[in-house]
């Protein structure tokens, strides 16, 4: 019996493979079928690269060394580096994958910043302090070590539009004001543990300068840990109180100004998986859009979170 594939034109077979290869395990299996199939499935395999360990980091570099220089630059679009080191190898992967548009990092930012080449601390311009070799538009700082000592802007690309960071007990309001330097930031997500960071009012005070950015469209709070019901409810209240123009007292108190861009949800169990699935923003964007459609909010954006 002959395979039905034998009667199909090769373009059609290729599109079947390309579609099947969007499912990663299938892509890996397909790439083993034949050299011909491998050649056509490979680009899809390299679109999203996850390096969870030192072993995978080293193996990936070895694979790249057998390919033309432009291969990684053109193919790798989504990259996650959760491996903690060696820092040199992380730098090398980043400089080879210069075309990355979405980057998730889990390595130690202080170690990276310490080791990164070309440190020019004299220039006060934020963009000139940026230390990664890539300019993604989406960046996620995940893993315990990325934000442990607070927010370090020197590994956040000035080009980001979508950013996810963590806040910890070390995060200062001062450090968060640096987010204002990100000219094109529209989507900001923050992961934190409510029990470690303090109450809702504290969070709101930390975020007020950030909310003052007129261009911010979505602020997603992903709350981790257990027993968060009350905290989530309090955040909820930030968008349910509709302020009328007569109610000026609440405008003077930023903590009471409702803001429909704030969406709270439970932190995903595995934030990296959410990044891989590409659905970090779906729920929050939908919620904000829904609120805007309902139009129940009378506070003009310009009034919100004016920096004091
Ligand atoms: C911000 O976006 C504009 C328009 O897309 C672009 O021209 C500009 O280079 C971006 N700025 C940065 C710092 O990426
Ligand atoms: C009126 C309104 O949109 N309230 C929302 C406030 O935010 C919470 C959490 O995202 C939503 O569940 C509420 O519907």
Closest Cα to atom 6 of ligand 2: 236
pLDDT at 108: 86
105 and 141 Cβ atoms separated by less than 8 Å: yes
Q: What is the DSSP string of the chain?
A: ---GGGGS-HHHHHHHHHHHTTSHHHHHHHTTT-HHHHHHHHHHHHHEEEE-SHHHHHHHHHHHHTS-HHHHHHH--EEEE-----HHHHHHHHHH-TT-SEEEE-S-HHHHHHH-S---TT---GGGG---S---SEEEE-STTTSTTS--GGGS-TT-SEEEEE--TT--HHHHHGGGG-TT--EEEEEEEHHHH--HHHHHHHHHHHHT-TT--EEEEEEESS--HHHHHHHHHHHHSPPPTT-HHHHHSGGG---TTEEEEEPPS-HHHHHHHT-TTHHHHHHHHHHHHHT-----GGGTT---
Which atom of ligand 1 lies closest to the CA of 184?
A: 1
Taking only the tens of pLDDT, the chain with its 308 residues reads: 566 667 777 777 777 777 776 676 776 776 667 777 777 777 778 999 999 999 999 999 999 999 998 999 999 999 999 999 899 999 999 999 999 999 999 988 888 888 775 544 445 566 677 888 899 999 999 988 888 888 888 889 999 999 999 998 888 888 888 899 999 999 999 999 988 887 888 888 888 888 887 789 999 999 998 778 888 888 877 776 554 444 445 455 544 567 888 999 999 999 999 999 899 999 999 988 888 877 655 444 444 444 33
pLDDT at 100: 97
Q: How far apart are alpha carbons 65 and 89 in whole angstroms?
A: 12
pLDDT at 265: 92
291 lines ligand 2 (CB under 6 A): yes
Closest Cα to atom 9 of ligand 1: 159
pLDDT at 245: 43
Of 259, 286, 291, the residue with max ligand 2 atoms within 8 A of its CB, to mutate for a pocket test, comes to 291
pLDDT at 283: 92
Would you kindly state where each structural domain of the chain is located, as residue ranges?
8-45, 51-293
Closest Cα to atom 14 of ligand 1: 159
Ligand 2 center from residue 299 Cα (angstroms): 16
Ligand 2 center from residue 177 Cα (angstroms): 26
Closest ligand to Cα 160: 1
Cα–Cα distance list, 174 to 178, 207, 229 (Å): 7, 10, 28
pLDDT at 165: 95
151 and 105 Cβ atoms separated by less than 8 Å: no
pLDDT at 246: 43
pLDDT at 256: 53
pLDDT at 147: 83
Closest Cα to atom 8 of ligand 2: 236
């Amino acid at each position: 019996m002959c395979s039905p594939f034998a009667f199909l034109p090769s373009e059609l077979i290729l599109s079947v493979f390309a579609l099947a290869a969007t499912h990663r395990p299938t892509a890996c299996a397909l790439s083993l079928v034949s050299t011909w199939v491998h050649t056509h499935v490979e680009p899809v395999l390299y679109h999203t690269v996850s390096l969870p360990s030192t072993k995978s980091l080293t193996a990936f570099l070895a694979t790249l060394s057998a390919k033309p220089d432009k291969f990684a630059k053109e193919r790798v679009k989504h990259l996650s580096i959760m491996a903690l080191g060696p820092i040199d190898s992380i730098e090398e992967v980043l400089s080879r994958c210069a075309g990355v548009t979405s980057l998730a990092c889990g390595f130690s930012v202080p170690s990276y910043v310490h080791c990164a080449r070309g440190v020019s601390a004299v220039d006060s311009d934020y963009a000139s302090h940026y230390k990664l070799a890539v300019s993604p538009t989406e960046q996620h700082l995940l893993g315990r070590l990325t934000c442990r000592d607070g927010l370090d802007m020197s590994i956040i690309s000035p080009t980001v539009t979508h950013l996810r960071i963590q806040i910890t007990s070390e995060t200062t309001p001062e450090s968060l004001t640096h987010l204002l330097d990100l000219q094109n930031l529209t989507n900001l997500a923050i992961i934190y543990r409510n029990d470690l960071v303090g109450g809702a009012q504290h969070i709101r005070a930390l975020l007020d300068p950030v909310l003052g950015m007129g261009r911010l469209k979505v602020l997603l709070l992903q709350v981790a840990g257990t027993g968060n019901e009350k905290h989530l409810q309090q955040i909820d209240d930030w968008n349910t109180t509709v302020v009328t123009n007569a109610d000026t007292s609440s405008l003077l108190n930023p903590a009471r100004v409702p803001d429909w861009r704030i969406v709270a949800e439970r932190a995903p169990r595995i934030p990296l998986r959410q990044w891989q699935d590409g659905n970090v923003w779906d729920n929050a964007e939908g919620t904000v859009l829904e609120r805007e459609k309902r139009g129940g909010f009378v506070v003009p954006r310009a009034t919100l979170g004016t920096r004091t």
